[in-house]
């Protein structure tokens, strides 16, 4: 793109040029958003197909209504976005459909695509103040598109996930793949380690609305494990303390514990008045996560009579498969969960609502097929034993090509992305185990493909990294929107979320007071939250009042990172 040195582009020309660049890179159409009842561009309506293309070039009064509607961003299957520009010509992204968190990935890709290519005479952003520090975040390494599709995983993972999906009343292929991964982690956690000699056990939580189909996948993998004769590999008991989970691991050193309504458990665990038994669950999950390559003593008591079994556990590989809703999850997490590394041990996966839901057939058979059980049994018995350098019989699955191979190189890129100095403390707390979780998933996929001679390939790493990256995006967005250290911060975040979702990020104060998370506050709390946000430069009153009141229209100026 080039511009004449004699004049600066008009606002209309600059807007069109920027959005045309989005279309060139990602496909789609430039459209004109309709105006709402008070004359503000309605970006929600701009996601409809029937909008007309604007004149070329648009007249100046139409220019602020320009947007690009795109749905072909690589790796974001089934996602659709409207891209528009704020008053500084900074790009904004609104998501119409797709997985939660996709808008964060789309925003990063769009900004990276269009910002460096604009000539300096386009006012792409207001100049930074002298004390502002612009962060340059690292680009994520390449990853596999749509990793939760069965075809992307292949092998036993695909076979198990497909069977779970086909037997579900409300099918969710994404949640089926997470459950399949948890099953293989539970089965093979006693037998193999990653190329970096870590365990393959996973902490995973599926996020979906109530009655959205979260309950079927755990039941399905329990049926498969029991059908193999591997009783105890999947346990859906209600574990109420450190001692309860330790007892389960002593019975079966590699096991999957199912935690229904995991968010409620976290609220009990992380609450200010948590019981000692509930708090001990958190402590145990922190302690045992990376013990699969060593011996674990468990809890030590002063009295020898307090614990019947006191021998060390050889290589405990605990996999957690939790289920909850997004709102319940973040109500149970706080800043301490980020700071101590609790949250970065977990993978969070959600899915779009099922599109083709039908009443279940009366002859629906949930019994696992004999062929699938036989395939799992053959893989379980066919994995070669390791030399036992760390633990007797555990095989260290190698990288394909060793340190000179593509798989190790890609994993190293994920490791360096995770350790990049540009991340702030909260982001580091969320990203902190990206490489480790990527390698656990990659090793599971390698076993799924070839149990007789497993080796982690480039595809395995890019598959695992795609799942981990989507989880990080989901948690980062959720932390920004929901996680709070106090009721006052929760109210401020509710106000910001309400304005962020409003057309042009603006609401009359009367409408704002009706929004979820705001309407329960009293006037003193509400005014204090508004004053804080105004002083922080996050919102402004378009009526120009120093303190908003009746007749004020509040506009969101900035959303702070977590």
- pLDDT band with cut points at 50, 70 and 90 for residue 391: low
Min mean pLDDT across 87-101, 234-248, 425-439 is at: 87-101
Say yes or no: 361 and 231 in one domain: yes
Confidence bin at 390 (pLDDT 50/70/90): low
In a domain, 380, yes or no: yes
Instruction: State mean pLDDT over 330-337.
Output: 68
Tell whether 108 and 168 lie within a shared domain: no
Whole-number pLDDT of residue 4: 41
Q: What is the pLDDT of residue 366?
A: 75
Q: How far apart are CA 481 and CA 490, in angstroms?
A: 9
For residues 197 and 325, membership in a common domain is answered with yes
- 545 neighbors 529 (Cβ within 8 angstroms): no
Q: pLDDT digit string (tens) for 527-538?
A: 999 988 888 888
- At 121 the pLDDT is 42
Buried residues in 357-375 as b, exposed as e (16+ CB within 10 A): eeeeeeeeeeebeeebbeb
| pLDDT mean over 66-75 | 82
Q: Is pLDDT larger for residue 183 or for residue 102?
A: 183
For residue range 473-493, what is the model confidence (pLDDT) as tens digits?
A: 988 887 777 676 677 888 888
- 110 and 161 belong to one structural domain: no
Q: Are residues 170 and 111 in the same domain?
A: no
Task: Tell whether 112 and 41 lie within a shared domain.
Answer: yes
Query: Which residue did the predictor score with more confidence, 162 or 135?
Result: 162
Could you tell me if residue 98 is inside a domain? yes
pLDDT at 120 over 60: no
**Residue 412 reports pLDDT greater than 50:** yes
- The whole-number average pLDDT for the span 167-180 is 90
Query: What CATH number should be reported for the domain holding residue 233?
Result: 3.40.50.300
Q: Which residue has the higher pLDDT, 208 or 16?
A: 16
pLDDT at 51 over 80: no
Q: Are residues 246 and 377 in the same domain?
A: yes
pLDDT at 410: 94
**Residue 440 lies inside a defined structural domain of this protein:** no
| pTM for the predicted model, two decimal places | 0.69
- Name the residue range of residue 84's domain: 11-117
CA 156, chain centre distance (Å): 24
Winning range, highest mean pLDDT, from 5-14, 167-176, 360-369, 479-488 = 167-176
Q: For residue 301, what pLDDT band results from cuts at 50, 70 and 90?
A: low
Last residue of a domain, one of 396, 424, 451: 396
Please count the structural domains in the chain.
3
Please check whether residues 277 and 177 belong to one and the same domain: yes
Q: Under a CB-based contact definition with an 8 Å cutoff, are residues 464 and 451 in contact?
A: no
Higher pLDDT, 85 or 203: 203
Shared domain for 161 and 269, answered yes or no, is yes
Q: Which of 381, 396, 411 is at the close of a domain?
A: 396
pLDDT at 43 > cutoff 60 = yes
pLDDT value at residue 333: 67
Say yes or no: 108 and 174 in one domain. Answer: no
Q: Is residue 462 part of a domain?
A: no
pLDDT of residue 409: 93
User: Same domain, yes or no, for 286 and 392?
Assistant: yes
What's the mean pLDDT in 61-86?
Answer: 82
Q: What CA–CA distance (Å, rounded) separates 346 from 445?
A: 18
Model confidence at 124: pLDDT above 90: no
Q: Are residues 372 and 257 in the same domain?
A: yes
Confidence of residue 128 (pLDDT cuts 50, 70, 90): very low
Confidence of residue 1 (pLDDT cuts 50, 70, 90): very low
CATH of the domain at 500: 1.10.10.10
| Residue 119 pLDDT class (50, 70, 90 cuts) | very low
In a domain, 420, yes or no: no
pLDDT mean across residues, the chain: 82
pLDDT of residue 93: 86
In a domain, 348, yes or no: yes
Least Cα distance to 363 among 164, 160, 167 occurs for: 167
Which residues lie below 8 Å from residue 146, measured CB to CB, with a gap of 6+?
A: 75, 77, 152
User: pLDDT by residue (tens digit) across 399-411?
Assistant: 999 999 999 999 9
Residue 232 counted as domain residue:
yes
Say if 451 falls within a structural domain.
Answer: no
Weakest-pLDDT range from 28-37, 244-253, 475-484, 488-497: 475-484
Strand partners, 395: 192
Per DSSP, the three-state class of 430 is: helix
Write down which residue in 374, 396, 418 finishes a domain: 396
Rounded alpha-carbon distances, angstroms, from residue 283 to 182, 266, 277, 312, 333: 21, 12, 10, 18, 14
Instruction: State what percent of residues in the chain have pLDDT above 70.
Output: 81
Q: CB of 12 within 8 A of CB of 63?
A: yes
pLDDT at 475 (0 to 100): 87
């Amino acid at each position: 793109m080039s511009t004449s040195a004699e004049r600066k582009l008009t606002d209309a020309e600059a807007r069109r040029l920027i959005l045309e660049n989005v279309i060139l890179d990602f496909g789609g159409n430039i459209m004109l958003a309709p105006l709402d009842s008070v004359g503000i561009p309605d970006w929600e309506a701009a996601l409809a197909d029937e909008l007309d293309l604007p004149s070329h070039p648009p007249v100046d009064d139409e220019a602020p209504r320009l947007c690009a509607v795109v749905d072909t961003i690589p790796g974001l299957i089934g996602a659709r976005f409207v891209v528009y520009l704020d008053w500084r010509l900074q790009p904004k992204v609104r998501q119409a459909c797709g997985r939660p968190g996709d808008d964060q990935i789309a925003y990063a890709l769009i900004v990276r695509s269009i910002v460096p290519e604009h000539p300096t005479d386009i006012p792409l952003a207001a100049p930074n103040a002298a004390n502002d520090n612009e962060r340059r975040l690292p680009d994520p390494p390449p990853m596999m598109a749509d990793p939760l599709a069965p075809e992307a995983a292949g092998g036993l993972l695909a076979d198990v996930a497909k069977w779970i999906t086909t037997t579900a009343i409300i099918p969710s292929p994404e949640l089926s793949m997470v459950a399949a991964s948890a099953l293989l982690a539970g089965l093979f956690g006693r037998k193999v380690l990653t190329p970096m000699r870590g365990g393959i056990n996973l902490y995973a939580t599926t996020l979906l609305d109530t009655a959205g189909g979260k309950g079927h996948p755990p039941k399905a993998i329990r049926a498969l494990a029991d059908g193999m004769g591997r009783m105890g590999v999947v346990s859906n008991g209600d574990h109420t303390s450190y001692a309860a989970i330790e007892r389960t691991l002593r019975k079966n050193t590699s096991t999957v514990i199912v935690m229904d309504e995991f968010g409620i458990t976290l609220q009990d665990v992380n609450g200010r008045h948590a019981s000692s038994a509930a708090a001990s669950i958190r402590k145990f999950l922190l302690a045992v996560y990376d013990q699969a390559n060593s011996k674990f003593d468990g809890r030590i008591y002063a009295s020898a009579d307090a614990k019947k079994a006191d021998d060390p556990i050889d290589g405990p590989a605990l996999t957690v498969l939790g289920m909850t809703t997004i709102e319940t999850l973040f109500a149970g997490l706080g800043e301490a969960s980020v700071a101590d590394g609790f949250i970065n041990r977990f993978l969070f996966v959600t899915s779009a609502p099922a599109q083709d839901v039908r009443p279940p057939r009366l002859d629906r058979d949930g019994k696992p097929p004999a062929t699938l059980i036989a395939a799992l049994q053959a893989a379980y018995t066919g994995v070669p034993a390791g030399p036992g350098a760390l633990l007797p019989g555990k095989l260290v699955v190698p990288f394909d090509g060793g340190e000179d191979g593509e798989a190790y190189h890609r994993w190293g890129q994920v490791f360096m992305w995770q350790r990049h100095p540009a991340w702030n403390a909260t982001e580091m707390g969320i990203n902190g185990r990206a490489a480790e979780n990527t390698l656990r998933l990659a090793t599971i996929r390698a076993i799924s493909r070839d149990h007789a001679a497993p080796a982690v390939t480039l595809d395995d790493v890019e598959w695992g990294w795609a799942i981990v990256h989507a989880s990080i995006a989901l948690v980062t967005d959720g932390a920004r929107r929901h996680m709070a250290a106090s009721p006052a911060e929760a109210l401020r975040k509710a106000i910001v979320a309400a304005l962020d979702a409003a057309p042009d990020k603006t609401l009359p104060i009367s409408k704002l007071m009706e929004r979820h998370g705001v309407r329960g506050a009293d006037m003193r709390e509400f005014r204090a939250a508004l004053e804080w946000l105004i002083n922080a430069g996050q919102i402004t009153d378009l009526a120009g009042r120093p303190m908003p009141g009746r007749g004020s229209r509040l506009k969101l100026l900035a959303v702070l990172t977590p």
